[in-house]
């Protein structure tokens, strides 16, 4: 991502940083987007399913590891007996070919790995990105040079190839899901750092930061009290888009056999085992593929919705027509409810960054 | 003593012999061969046979090929002193004369072997094949630049250990004598009753010294068989073979050579090969494969289709997949722990993981379940179909582990259904029932091979497999259990580190036998005796299922290779 683009995104964002009623306004804007709401519901459901995996499989009466040789036709390569991949009251989504392991159990336990690894990796990426980005923006010229070049090297590194290499050399005694999350997190934090640095540079120029500096605040205190709140919006937005990306990376790594190790189920691993079965047992391939598709799609839509809610101007530039009416209504109702801003949307724009950013500080501190 | 580098290649035997040496399996031995071809099932001469393969025939020099029984495609071009019997099933595991008039005449203790060549043998250019050419062919296989073949010749021939081949050492090997142009005599440094099996390998192919072009010879090797190489492109990726008009059925009763032309196309994905064979469009109707099996998912699809199912051939190759123990690593130094695991193993779930009962047969013996190996169907630690957890727990208690144990199973991350994670997790699941917690250690395939074949890094508990260089107990048991073959520095195959004087003595005694049936019985008995030490847990013997094109006739699958013999196939 070019710095100019990052800067413009950041500049666009800070205009919209929520006011005193920011959080409420954010929710209203988010709620106005039906797609984002549906996506949020789906994501919530997926998280719930992942968290409740042991409970759900207990209700089904299965677990993801037990072999059921009686449910597969050994003479025919181990294809599940019965129709639709062996779907019965005991096995809600059928069983896995060659082993007879319960597919529902493997799918919901796989959700834990997919979501857990992706979230873990995102946390690592955001932490490193924010620290490096803020340090680069606030540090001396040398520190900035050093950290910015480092960030560029990290951005230039091919994620898949680096992960393959790293995962291949770490001993298998290291907990695998944690390792995968760490590896993805440690390799793919570059863009977060760039966005944070650009946003920090913009914020640094603002009057309230200068005021803080003049009143003798140290760099650390300024970073914590004045800058971090202003960074929240772009970071949350970017993090929301990182999660689905990390899910696909985890799936790809497991698909290639270096991700999570068997017998721990993961969607990527199920895909790799299932790819040859697409004709003989299609549901075996369709289940993890569908789960992955729904998860990534809903997370992406949700991420997009969060961005729109935090930055309605950027959204209105991107999407002309659809959805705008809803957003406008949401904005209007916010104004009505808060009663503070009597101005039009145009006014919001012209008011500029100062007020908003200051407000954001107040809102968070 | 075997040289490490030479031994390392032995690993390749197991897998390579399926691909290179063996051929494609098609219609099973017990099935009617000619189904799918409509009315007339008698094979006729003529036509073009297409071979669709995944692995290119990178080596086509008889010195460099590592084959079981002379290989499949190579055997169309190279004749050897003896060869495998080209018949279905167990009869195909016999060794028969090829260039020679018989399978060899040994002296009393089987250290000197004499062969006489048939009359009227000719190369593709019409010149006569002489015994000196066979001697030269063997000698050049000792040249470092033409290495790749099996290690036996270097081990067995007198004074061959340090021989560097005819390019450096003009004198040649004194262990091979050619008193006249039709007689060749081999002097061995120890009794080897199985020498006739060795004489099937391509190193026993005649090579005329005047035509030898060294490493370039594989571009156009001089044919002694029914076909000659017309073109060899991209290092064996596409090969075209046409008739050698000087070859005659009068001197070769083994190869049928029905098609006029053989077209080998390789470098194809295995799923593409199976898809093309099943649809049988155009030239693919007369196509076979010599290296691609049906996988479990493909089998599931094929068995649901009557027309396709009739075109699947079934074969058995002497091969065993097993669990290996390193008895110097605790707790596997305790025989009771090894026995407990032997009892706890669930062979039906392992067989399923390997592709199901059509692609694998449960194994309780280390030797393959074929008569030629001296198969003795013993089951020393009867686990039943799905494991005997109670007996395993009892043994663990006796071993001092009343609360069970935690062990690490090392396997490869290859997707081969042999040492792969699927097999490892099946074992993990079965042992859990016996109170044995198995942790899995998956290694990248090369790392895995290096680790298990080095005495210093060998894990205590791992998945392994072994294939036969020829269908007999000798090449199956000796490398794995002969104490004198333990290699301290370098590639070691005696992973159980067994050095039992009585076992070593029995191996020597059997090697003296020239009656191969009698030897087979003794190998079977020795296998059972070694089995009592529970150094391995035999898991399964693979079964090969392969498709052939819809117009393919006369499919023959021997127990020697387990796959369709390309020299017997007809397309008309």
* Residue A16 to residue B178: CA distance in whole angstroms: 96
Quick check: A76 and B421 CB within 8 A? no
Facing residue for A99 by CB, picked from B303, B353, B442: B353
Quick check: B304 and A172 CB within 8 A? no
Best CA proximity match to A235, nearest among A207, A267, A193, A264: A193
Name the strand (E) or helix (H) holding B197: helix B195-198
The DSSP 8-state label assigned to residue A217 in this structure reads -
Interface test with A, best of B269, B309, B352, B412 (most A CBs within 10 A): B352
Interface test with B, best of A62, A78, A170, A264 (most B CBs within 10 A): A78
Quick check: B442 and A261 CB within 8 A? yes
Residue A312: the pLDDT is 59
Residues 6+ apart with CB under 8 A from A148: A136, A197
Residue A21: the pLDDT is 55
The per-residue pLDDT string of chain B (572 residues; one tens digit each, 9 = 90 and over) reads 333 333 333 333 333 333 333 333 333 333 444 344 444 678 999 999 999 999 999 889 999 999 888 999 999 999 999 999 999 999 999 999 999 999 999 999 899 999 999 999 999 999 999 999 999 999 999 999 998 888 899 999 999 989 999 999 888 899 999 999 999 999 999 999 999 999 999 999 999 999 999 999 999 999 999 999 999 999 889 999 999 999 999 999 999 999 999 999 999 999 999 999 999 999 999 999 999 999 999 998 898 889 999 999 999 999 999 999 999 998 999 999 999 999 999 999 999 999 999 999 999 999 999 999 999 899 999 999 889 999 999 999 999 999 999 999 999 988 888 998 999 999 999 999 999 999 998 888 888 999 999 999 999 999 999 998 999 999 999 999 999 988 888 889 999 999 999 999 999 999 999 998 999 999 999 999 999 999 999 999 999 999 999 999 999 999 999 999 999 999 98
Residue B38: the pLDDT is 43
* Structure token digits, residue B450: 């290096």
Name the strand (E) or helix (H) holding B185: strand B183-187
Interface test with B, best of A65, A76, A260, A279 (most B CBs within 10 A): A76
**Residue of chain A whose Cα is closest to the Cα of B349:** A69
Contact A113, A314 (CB under 8 A): no
Quick check: B300 and A281 CB within 8 A? yes
Instruction: Return contacts of A215-222, CB within 8 angstroms, 24+ apart.
Output: A219/A138, A222/A138
Q: Which of residues 416-445 of B touch A (CB under 8 A)?
A: 421-422, 424-426, 428-430, 440-444
**Chains A & B: contacts with CB separation below 8 Å:** 107
Residues 6+ apart with CB under 8 A from B196: B82, B95, B103, B104, B113, B516
* Residue A13 to residue A195: CA distance in whole angstroms: 11
Residue B46: the pLDDT is 92
* Residue B504 to residue B483: CA distance in whole angstroms: 7
For B213, half-sphere exposure in the C-beta direction (CA atoms, 13 angstrom radius) is 8
DSSP string, B494-561: -TT----HHHHHHHHHHHT---HHHHHHHHHHHHHHHHTT--EEEEEEEEEEEE--TT-B---BBTTT
Best CA proximity match to B343, nearest among B305, B379, B300: B379
Best CA proximity match to B560, nearest among B66, B118, B71, B56: B71
Residue A314: the pLDDT is 53
Residues 6+ apart with CB under 8 A from B377: B364, B365, B369
Report whether the peptide linkage leading into residue B310 is cis, meaning its omega lies within 30 degrees of zero: no
Residues 6+ apart with CB under 8 A from B423: B321, B350, B353, B354, B411, B417, B463, B539
Contact B295, A280 (CB under 8 A): no
pLDDT beneath 50, residues of chain A: 1-20, 315-328, 330, 332-365
* Residue A345 to residue A350: CA distance in whole angstroms: 9
Residues 6+ apart with CB under 8 A from B238: B231, B232, B263, B264, B265, B266
CA A177, A183, A189, A191 torsion: positive or negative? negative
Residue A7: the pLDDT is 42
Residue A313: the pLDDT is 59
Residue A9: the pLDDT is 45
Alpha helices in chain A (DSSP H): 3-16, 22-31, 34-51, 53-60, 103-138, 141-156, 159-169, 176-187, 190-204, 207-214, 219-221, 228-255, 267-274, 282-310, 312-318, 324-338, 345-351, 353-364
Task: Give the β-pairing of B536-547 and B461-467.
Answer: unpaired
Quick check: B352 and A99 CB within 8 A? yes
**Residue B551 burial (CB < 10 Å; 0-12/13-18/19+)?**
middle
For B68, half-sphere exposure in the C-beta direction (CA atoms, 13 angstrom radius) is 34
Report whether the peptide linkage leading into residue B331 is cis, meaning its omega lies within 30 degrees of zero: yes
* Structure token digits, residue A198: 């650009």
Q: Is A257 on the interface with B (CB under 8 A)?
A: yes
């Amino acid at each position: 991502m070019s710095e100019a683009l990052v800067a413009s995104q950041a500049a666009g964002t800070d205009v919209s940083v929520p006011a005193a009623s920011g959080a409420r306004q954010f929710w209203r804007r988010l709620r106005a987007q039906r797609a984002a709401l549906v996506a949020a519901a789906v994501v919530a459901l997926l998280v719930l399913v992942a968290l409740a995996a042991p409970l759900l499989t207990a209700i089904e009466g299965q677990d993801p590891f037990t072999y059921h040789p009686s449910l597969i036709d050994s003479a025919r390569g181990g294809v599940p007996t019965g129709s639709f991949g062996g779907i019965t009251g005991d096995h809600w989504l059928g069983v896995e070919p060659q082993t007879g392991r319960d597919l529902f159990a493997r799918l919901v336990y796989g959700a834990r790995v997919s979501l857990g690894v992706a979230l873990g990796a995102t946390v690592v990426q955001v932490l490193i990105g924010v620290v490096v980005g803020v340090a680069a923006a606030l540090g001396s010229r040398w520190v900035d040079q050093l950290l910015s070049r480092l960030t560029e090297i990290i951005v230039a590194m091919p994620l898949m190839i680096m992960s393959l290499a790293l995962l291949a050399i770490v001993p298998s005694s290291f907990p695998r899901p944690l390792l995968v999350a760490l590896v993805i997190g440690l390799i793919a934090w570059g863009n977060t750092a760039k966005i944070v640095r650009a946003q920090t540079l913009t914020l640094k120029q603002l009057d309230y930061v200068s005021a803080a500096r003049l009143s003798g605040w140290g760099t650390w205190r300024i970073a914590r009290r004045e800058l971090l709140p202003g960074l929240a919006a772009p970071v949350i937005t970017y993090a929301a888009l990182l999660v689905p990306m990390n899910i696909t990376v985890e799936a790809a790594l497991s698909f290639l056999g270096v991700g999570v190790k068997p017998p721990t189920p993961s969607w990527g691993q199920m895909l790799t085992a299932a790819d040859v079965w697409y004709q003989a047992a299609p549901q075996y391939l369709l289940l993890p593929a569908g789960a992955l598709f729904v998860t990534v799609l809903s997370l992406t839509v949700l991420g997009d919705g969060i961005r729109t809610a935090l930055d309605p101007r950027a959204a209105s530039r991107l999407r002309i027509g659809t959805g705008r009416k809803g957003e406008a209504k949401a904005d209007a109702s916010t104004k009505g409810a808060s009663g503070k801003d009597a101005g039009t949307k145009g006014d919001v724009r012209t008011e500029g960054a100062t007020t908003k950013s200051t407000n954001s500080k107040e809102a968070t501190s | 003593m075997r040289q490490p580098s030479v031994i390392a290649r032995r690993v390749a035997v197991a897998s390579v012999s399926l691909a290179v040496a063996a051929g494609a399996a098609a219609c099973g031995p017990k099935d009617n061969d000619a189904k799918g071809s409509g009315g007339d099932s008698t094979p006729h001469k003529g036509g073009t046979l297409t071979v669709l393969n995944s692995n290119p025939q990178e080596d086509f020099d008889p010195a460099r090929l590592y084959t079981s029984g002379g290989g499949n495609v190579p055997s169309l071009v190279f004749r050897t002193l003896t060869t495998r019997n080209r018949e279905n099933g167990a009869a195909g595991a016999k060794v028969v004369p090829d260039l020679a008039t018989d399978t060899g005449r040994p002296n009393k203790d089987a250290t000197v072997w004499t062969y006489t060549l048939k009359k009227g043998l000719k190369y593709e250019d019409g010149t006569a094949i002489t015994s000196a050419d066979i001697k030269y062919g063997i000698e050049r296989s000792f040249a470092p630049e033409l290495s790749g073949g099996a290690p036996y010749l270097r081990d067995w021939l007198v004074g061959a250990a340090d021989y560097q081949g005819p390019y450096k050492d003009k004198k040649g090997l004194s262990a091979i004598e050619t008193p006249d142009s039709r007689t060749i005599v081999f002097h061995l440094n120890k009794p080897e009753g199985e020498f006739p099996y060795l004489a099937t390998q391509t190193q026993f192919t005649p090579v005329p010294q005047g035509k030898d072009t060294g490493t370039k010879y594989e571009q156009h090797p001089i044919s002694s068989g029914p076909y000659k190489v017309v073109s060899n492109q991209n290092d064996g990726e596409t090969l075209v073979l046409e008739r050698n008009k000087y070859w005659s059925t009068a001197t070769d009763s083994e190869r049928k050579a029905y098609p006029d032309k053989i077209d080998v196309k390789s470098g194809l994905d295995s799923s593409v090969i199976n898809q093309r064979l099943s649809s049988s469009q155009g030239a693919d109707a007369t196509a076979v494969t010599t290296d691609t099996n049906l996988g479990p998912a493909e089998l599931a699809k094929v068995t649901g289709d009557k027309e396709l199912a009739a075109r699947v051939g079934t074969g058995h190759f002497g091969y065993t997949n097993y669990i290996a123990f390193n008895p110097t690593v605790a707790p596997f130094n305790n025989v009771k722990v090894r026995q407990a695991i032997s009892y706890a193993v669930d062979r039906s779930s392992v067989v399923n993981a390997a592709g199901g009962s059509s692609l694998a047969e449960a194994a309780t013996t280390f030797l393959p379940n074929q008569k030629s190996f001296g198969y003795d169907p013993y089951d020393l630690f009867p686990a039943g179909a799905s494991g005997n957890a109670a007996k395993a727990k009892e043994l663990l208690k006796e071993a001092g582990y009343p609360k069970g144990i935690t062990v690490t199973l090392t396997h490869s991350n290859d997707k081969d259904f042999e040492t792969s994670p699927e097999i490892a997790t099946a074992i993990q699941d079965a042992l859990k029932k016996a109170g044995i917690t198995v942790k899995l250690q998956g290694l990248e395939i090369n790392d895995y091979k290096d680790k298990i074949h080095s005495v210093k890094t060998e894990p205590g508990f791992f998945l392994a497999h072994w294939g036969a260089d020829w269908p007999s107990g000798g090449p199956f048991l000796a490398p794995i259990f002969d104490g004198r073959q333990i290699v301290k520095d370098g590639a070691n195959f005696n992973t159980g580190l067994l050095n039992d004087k009585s076992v070593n003595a029995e191996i020597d005694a059997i090697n003296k036998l020239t009656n191969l049936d009698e030897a087979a019985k003794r190998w079977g008995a020795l296998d059972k005796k070694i089995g009592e030490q529970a150094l391995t847990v035999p898991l399964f013997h693979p079964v090969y299922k392969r498709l052939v094109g819809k117009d393919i006739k006369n499919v023959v699958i021997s127990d020697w290779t387990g796959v369709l013999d390309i020299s017997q196939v007809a397309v008309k």
